Amino acid sequence: MPSYNEEIKNTGFILEHSINVILQNHDWTIINNKYYEDDLQNTVREIDILAYKVQLVDDIRIYTTLLISCKKNSENAWVLVSREVNLNNPNFNWNPLHIRTNDSAIKDLINKEKDINKDYYEFLSKENSIDIMDTPKNDVFAFQEMSKRNGAPKNDKNIFTSITSLMKAQAYEIDRKRVTHSDKAVYQFNLISIIDSDLIRLNMLDDKTITQEEIESEQIVTQYIIRRKEDFYRIQFIKADVFEKYLKKYDRIHEANLRFFKNNRDNFFVDILKNDRKVELLKPEFLEEILDPLYEASSYSVSKESVSKYLELIWDIDGEIVRIYLNEEQKIIDRLNDSDSFCIKTKEALNKIYRYDGGFIYSSDNLPF
């Protein structure tokens, strides 16, 4: 009988298993061999490992996600060709940040704050001393598998497949719509290509001089178009035998993510009811909490559609309270303000949605137009 148990070691399955064990030992939750549809090429593709850590902070679950490709090559080294990095290129984003969230506060941060990527990377580097996310010192612009025996170039197929599978899997995960409105979450994604072989960097100093060194890790920031959308991606190449060393850095990234997103969400809610734009941003969530109780407290005499359309939350500077305006008759407004149970539900909704626990009153919109 052939030595199947020995020959299987020449495949990448053993590598994938060993990476799983390391991840489990560091308390990462693992999903193996996840398949997704590549709608560009009409085929189904596989990502070797999806691993994540998650923690509930306040009312939101914060996920740090690793998408991992595992490759083994006994005959060929992975060779990365680099040049001096040009950080002043205005058309290149050296700090890509990929996030998926259904949280309005974080969405506002992403959409409004142009420098969130820069702020995030500086937070990791300066405040947490996590160097794995530092700006690249080399611009990797090409790669090639080359023979360990004589250095002959082979091709870039396996490296390219590893990179594109990671980028496409990330795009798929970000586009997923499974997170429900009541289950707030934010996902931060990291792409890792693990190679069980030699990892070599060729650095082009000029047209004639090329230096060569064996390395254990390197990052590549690249541009790619997926589903007609151009974006930048960061991929970390890591040799298999040092993966645990670098995983400790991702452990720390998760801890930093908890602080980064909490800090930014806390800042979002400071004096929020004095900010009309933010009030409007969260108003649908507030309505979702109070619409049914309001309908009941009014003895079913209001229109839910009218309340949804005309309700306004206005900060009363003189009274230092929130006035909740409705386009309803005064007797209905009085009924709402006199209902202890409804006022309790309103207070709970204001605290849950706006983190506000001060005074409030329902008022009639007496504007003539």
- Write the DSSP assignment of 111-142 as a string of letters: HH-TTHHHHHHHIIIIIT--GGGSPPSEEEEE
Residues 230 and 300 in one domain: no
Residues 109 and 77 in one domain: yes
**Would you say residue 369 has pLDDT above 50?**
no
How far is Cα 64 from Cα 269, in angstroms, rounded to an integer?
A: 23
Is 369 among the domain residues? no
Q: What is the pLDDT of residue 4?
A: 76
Q: What is the mean pLDDT of the chain?
A: 91
Residues 238 and 167 in one domain: yes
Residues 320 and 184 in one domain: no
Last residue of a domain, one of 237, 269, 301: 269
Average pLDDT of 330-356?
97
Residues 17 and 138 in one domain: yes
Residues 74 and 196 in one domain: yes
Last residue of a domain, one of 236, 254, 269: 269
Residues 152 and 257 in one domain: yes
Residues 223 and 301 in one domain: no
Domain that holds residue 308: 273-364
**Would you say residue 178 has pLDDT above 60?**
no
Per-residue pLDDT of 153-176, as tens digits, reads 999 999 999 999 999 999 989 887
| Residues 309 and 284 sit within 8 Å (Cβ to Cβ) | no
Average pLDDT of 43-52?
86
* 12-16, 26-30, 167-171: segment of lowest average pLDDT: 12-16
Is 127 among the domain residues? yes
Instruction: Report the number of distinct structural domains present in the chain.
Output: 2
Residues 201 and 81 in one domain: yes
State the residue for tokens 């069980």.
196
* 51-55, 138-142, 347-351: segment of lowest average pLDDT: 138-142
Last residue of a domain, one of 269, 293, 318: 269
β-bridge partners, 50: 31, 67
Residues 260 and 125 in one domain: yes
Per-residue pLDDT of 183-205, as tens digits, reads 899 999 999 999 999 999 999 98
Q: What is the pLDDT of residue 341?
A: 96
Is 31 among the domain residues? yes
Q: What is the pLDDT of residue 368?
A: 43
Is 90 among the domain residues? yes
Residues 43 and 160 in one domain: yes
Residues 43 and 103 in one domain: yes
DSSP secondary structure string for all residues of 66-85: EEEEEEE-SSEEEEEEEEE-
Q: What is the pLDDT of residue 39?
A: 61
Is 208 among the domain residues? yes
Q: What is the pLDDT of residue 366?
A: 52
Q: What is the pLDDT of residue 101?
A: 94
**Would you say residue 239 has pLDDT above 50?**
yes
How far is Cα 257 from Cα 179, in angstroms, rounded to an integer?
A: 19
The pTM of this model reads 0.91
Is 43 among the domain residues? yes
Rg, the chain, Cα only: 27
Phi, psi of 136 (to 5 degrees): -55, 140
